[in-house]
Structure formats: structure tokens, C-alpha cells
Amino acid sequence: MNRILAVVAVAIGVAGYFWYSSAPSNPLDNPQATALLGAASAQEAGADIDTSSVIEMSIGNPDAPVTVIEYASYTCPHCGRFHEGPFKQLKADYIDTGLINFVYREVYFDRFGLWASAIARCAGPEKFFGITDLLYAGQSTWTRAGGGDPSAIVDELRKIGRLAGLGNDAIEACLQDGDNLRTLVAWYQENAAEDGITSTPSFVIDGRTYNNMSYEEMRGLIDDASS
């Protein structure tokens, strides 16, 4: 899923009107949906935003000699395939055994990925990876809901949130927290620029950035870094 990073500036940073006018012919015509469209777009992308409040989502052994960072978008099919297959092997072989510290960083190529991130983070670190599993397991359903209609996609994301035990009020608060959404976008941009991320999934293993790879390649890199 190769895209230039400027996509996020267009999709999130210009104005709520851009998002609204680019929606399908059946526009979002209720107050909650309109608020969702504008929530992440009230400030120009790249502005000076303090990102220190963003929680780094990690599992495994924080003191492990090797850290693996995954950069992924919830709307990226390649990322979905990684989490449905190789990630399960990685978790069994290296994360659950405490051999690595695994960090997941969201990439925002579109508004839907940003909203999915808001749902995943809504209950904090304790439920983040469980909700992430739900988002990837149902990716082909919620990303295509209503033929791409934003209101239908948001409704599917709400369902995932409720399935994870989130209440309706909490879900709406997370989806409509414009300050938090803008902060997440700024955080993503900072990390992506630092690590040279231009596609998803990408991995930073022992400080070096790699594009998508087979599990066998990843395992070799981890083992080399551990030795």
C-alpha cells in the first residue's frame, strides 16, 4: 500500500468541507456525523502540536534487547493479512515469550483509519490490541460498509467498539474528540518522518526500517539483532 505522506494532509488537514463534499451521493446529514467529519480537520496538518500525551501501544517485554515497531493502517489490506497470519506467529514466537518488545503505531492514510484508531484507543492500552484484532478481523466488512458511505462505516466501527465493551457515550466521545484526533495525526507525522515510513505495513527492527516482508525474513532479522 504505497502512498505519499502528503495524503494525510489532504484528507485530514485542510477543512471539514473537503471531507463532506467528497462523500458519496448520500451525504451525512445528521449532527453527529457532521461532527465526526469536522473533528479531525479544524487545524492545518503540520501545525505545532504537543504529542507527548499520546500513549505508545506495546506488548511483550519492555526490557527485551530487541524492539520491533510496526507501522500499519487499519484500512490497509496488506496490514490485515499480516495481522491475520504472520503476526500470530510473531506473537507466539517472540512476544509472548518475552524475546522482543513489540510496538504498534497507527498510520493515517484516510479518515476511516483515523476513526478506527480512535475506537482502538478508546479504552486505553488494556484493550487496544484486542480491539485491533477485531478491526483487522472485520476489515473487509467495515471498510466496505454502505459501498464506502462514511456514515455506514462509522456505524460499523461503533459496533466493533460495543463488541469490545465500550459504552455508546464513550464511543461518541472518542470519535468526536477533535483535539485528540489532531494530536494523533501530528504524532503519526512525527514518527513517520523520523523512521522514513512511506508504505504499510513497515517495520522498524533494532532501529532500522524495512518494508513489508515474509515472516521468515522478519524472524531472521530479529534473530540477528538478538545475537
CA distance 223 to 28: 50
pLDDT digits (tens, 9 = 90+) for 12-28: 433 232 233 333 333 33
Q: Are 184 and 108 in contact (CB under 8 A)?
A: yes
pLDDT digits (tens, 9 = 90+) for 92-134: 999 999 999 999 999 998 899 999 999 999 999 999 999 999 9
For every residue of 57-116, DSSP letters joined together read EEEE-TT-SEEEEEEE-TT-HHHHHHHHTHHHHHIIIIITTTSEEEEEEE--SSHHHHHH
pLDDT digits (tens, 9 = 90+) for 158-197: 999 999 999 999 999 999 999 999 999 999 999 999 999 9
CATH class of 6-226: alpha beta
When the pLDDT of each residue in the chain is averaged and rounded to a whole number, the result is 84
The rounded percent of the chain whose pLDDT value lies above 70 is 79
> The pTM is what?
0.82
